[in-house]
Chain A
Amino acid sequence: MAELKPLSKNTDLPMRSPKTVMELPRLGCLYPYPLSFMRCLLRRVMSEMWEINGTIFNLDEEGFGEVVYEITTPNAVYSYVIFSKKLSDSKRSDRVIAEDWDMTVTLCEGQIDQDRLEFLRKNVPLQEKGRVDSKCLVLSRANKSMRNFEYVIDCLSNGKQPDLDKIAKVGYIFRTTAVYGSGKFGMSDWDNLRKKYVDFAKPFSAEMFSCYMIRHFSLELANWVARGRSPEAAVELDDGIKRYIGIGNATGLGMAPYLIKHPMLIANWIEVRETSLARIIQYKSPDRDSLGNLECLIMKAAQHLDEISTDNPEQNVLNNRAVNEVNKCLEWIKANNETLVNWQELIDHASQNYHVETQELINAILTEVYAKFILDLESELNIDENYRMQPMMKLNTLKSLIEKNYKWALRYDFTKSSSTETFWYRSEEKQEPRLGKKSLDSGIEKEMMMCIARDVRSCFDEICEIEGSNTSITVAHFAFSRPHLRYIIRRIQTMGLTQYGEIRANLLDADVLPIHLLRCKLSFFGVGKFDPRSKKWVRNTMFQGAPLVSDIGNEYTDTWCFPIRPKSSEKLN
């Protein structure tokens, strides 16, 4: 039988249990940390000093037209191609089902000639309705944030810098609404990308780079349009403010099925994260320097959360409570800094006294304190996914595997109608994943396979039905006459080889909160400032506080986590 190796040779690391870590509400409280994908990407961009130059800047005064940036890395040349157009306010939508956008983009291999540009011009603005090719790595689009874009242009064209209080409320001037990679619409497959384009061989690296470039373009566009409107009076955006402007993102249910479809990948990302924390607990002890860093980061994180502006009351409660609790934690650390001998004491204190949101915030801060100590784990983020059947496994072994790893799933009572009230389906509108209520909506017969807990239950029940008659038969014999169970059997077998296993939730429950799934994945991207618009979609901010393209080549400190409002035009990095 194939074995997955633990990430650390030291198997005595104090890893948290799957029971603690894999509960969905906790996963929905994760914060970005040093191995989040956009942090990994920028460390590479900055350390390798990628060159990013505009080679075509063909925009009219209002910023409509085409732009091509050429990106030179130590390994290859890429082009980032942008089509910017006038869009009426009525057409501007964050939804996947939108048909038109302010900006459409692609990241592709090599330099761009006129023929290539023409091909991209015909296809990229169409997004899902176009076709690109395997030289394209990412296809994406973005819309202006109406709240901020016009305001920033107005200020700059009148010779003023925008008010930071206003910027702080949103944090970006453009917002991406979909970022596609991995072979969609004819693009390069992930397996091809990771072999051929080493610069983007880490998970979601090309997608994150695309978002970084949209941010870069949005800042250049603001300066361009302001200058076009008022050539004499316009000023350029201050660098400190530019760094504080990120790129917005709207994420909906489309992200949720990914987490269920790729449990090995998610389990691996969790394992890397937990290994980071366990390593710190095992090998690092509080001292003057680390305690000083920790205290500074706690204050920064508290301010960061305090500055988040959302009109979602639940998120405000979470943020306010986390601020209060980390401040209490800060007091506790100061009171105990002479006697604190290991970080487990801090973790224990947090788990006994604070809510899950605060516990995970403190864990993320600890990984920031020791970022350099865990960076080697970055190489472990990739994994080859294979959910292969192990047909010679005995049925009683499979049963034991379920009892050991899926006790959580067996606890749900699927005879209760509320346990299966929700169903997930794909709409004929761009195959958008949607949620339905069994008692209200049609489409249950076409539901998506999001029901892992229920399927495990079915499998377990069918094993129990034949128990006593012959449990020493192989899984192959069992599945031969029960092909409907084969998928869940190979999933149970495969996930049994991972340390963290499945996300523990019944996604069919009447009260399921898919937003936890979204935030879990977004934390691995490195996204912050969650602004839930409902339980089904969330706005958030990427790359806020990150270095600018013009900072490449300068000394880089990887400390832009928990971005906070700069004081006037102070530089953040």
Chain B
Amino acid sequence: MNTLILGVFLSGLSLVKNLINISFNELLSLLSRVFEAVYGHEHDYQEMAQTVFWLESHGHSGINKLIEKLPELDAVKNIYLPPPCITKEIITIDCCGGSLFTNAHLICDLVFSETENYGVTKVAIINANDPYALIGYLGSAFNNSLSSHLITDKFSAFISPGSSYPIIYSALSCKKIEWTCSKHEDLIDMSHIKNHEPRIDSIKQKSFYEVALNNGLSISMLNYEKLNLIADRILVPSTESSRLGAGE
């Protein structure tokens, strides 16, 4: 879809009843409050918000994916990961059935750090849900200096050094998430995606972002309200005396 058509499409969407057009700033702020409401200051709630925001602002339906998962996230407060198992060959991270929306950033920190030190890192992420949460981080690795190949049961993704956006391919049958990150592209086994057509290329993601930045994002009113309902938990009820807490 070219940029112009996408722009018209997005503008038109906002006219449809039950959709609300919101800016990037509003969405990021809302998501930040949502994660703050759920996890308090025990976790990097701003980074969690950024994870979902990246997906939504690049056309990967981050909000819908989060909304599906919210009841579960809201119910399970203990999202601490057990220490990773690190061998010479592979790092294994057990997410204990949890969602990567809450931990993708910690895993990425580890992978990028190990890759910087050793040149190449192979990672197996087991018992994890929502692998989409990793996509946005692939392009942010150290000024885009690393190459990554991610294989999951939902999609596979590849990014070469210097690129800001990963190319998304169809899923491969794989029960765990396998991720190879390298300083050198030629150290990555690309046989899985060789000769495959991308499902989403970098141009499509970039165009979506630019159009959405210009016009705002259209999200469902219902989802917007669900998010606000949680976000509002960080607010303190107002009383006569609390009003004095901001002046007379």
Contact = CB atoms under 8 A, between A and B. Distances in A.
For chain A, give the interface size range. 35 or more
A187 B105 CA distance: 30
20 contacts: A133-B216, A134-B21, A186-B26, A196-B214, A391-B109, A391-B113, A426-B235, A427-B242, A428-B237, A433-B246, A434-B236, A434-B243, A446-B234, A476-B114, A480-B106, A481-B83, A483-B106, A486-B106, A487-B41, A534-B247
B216 A434 contact: no
A95 B214 contact: no
Given A133-B216, A134-B216, A186-B21, A534 B248 contact: yes
B42 A483 contact: yes
Contacts of B235: 426-428, 431, 446
A442 B22 CA distance: 32
Given A391-B110, A534-B247, A182 B215 contact: no
Contact of B23 (A188, A442, A534): A188
B122 to A, nearest CB: 16
Contacts of A133: 14, 21, 216
Interface in B103-119: 103, 105-106, 108-110, 112-114, 116-117
A183 B242 contact: no
A425 B236 contact: yes
Interface string A454-482: 00000000000000000000111101110
Interface string B23-49: 111100000000000001111111100
B238 A483 contact: no
A462 to B, nearest CB: 14
Interface in A346-386: none
A196 B108 CA distance: 34
B112 A392 contact: yes
Contacts of B84: 480
Given A96-B246, A425-B236, 8 more contacts: A133-B21, A190-B25, A192-B213, A426-B236, A442-B236, A476-B109, A481-B83, A536-B247
Nearest to A429: B238
A426 B40 CA distance: 14
Contacts of B247: 95, 252-253, 533-534, 536-537
A428 B41 contact: no
Interface in B48-105: 80-81, 83-84, 103, 105
B3 interface: no
Interface of B: 14, 20-26, 40-47, 80-81, 83-84, 103, 105-106, 108-110, 112-114, 116-117, 140, 143, 213-216, 232-238, 241-243, 245-248
Contacts of A445: 40
Contacts of A429: 238, 243
Given A189-B25, A426-B234, A476 B112 contact: yes
Interface of A: 2, 95-97, 131, 133-134, 182-192, 196, 252-253, 388-389, 391-392, 425-429, 431-436, 441-443, 445-446, 449, 474-477, 479-481, 483-484, 486-487, 490, 533-534, 536-537
Nearest to A196: B214
Contacts of A186: 21-23, 26, 216
A441 B242 contact: yes
A434 B143 CA distance: 39
Nearest to B28: A183
Contacts of B112: 391-392, 476
A388 B105 CA distance: 11
Given A253-B246, A391-B109, A428-B236, A487 B46 contact: yes
The 7 A-B pairs with the shortest beta carbon distances in the complex, nearest first, are A183-B25, A183-B23, A434-B245, A443-B236, A391-B109, A476-B113, A537-B247
B182 to A, nearest CB: 15
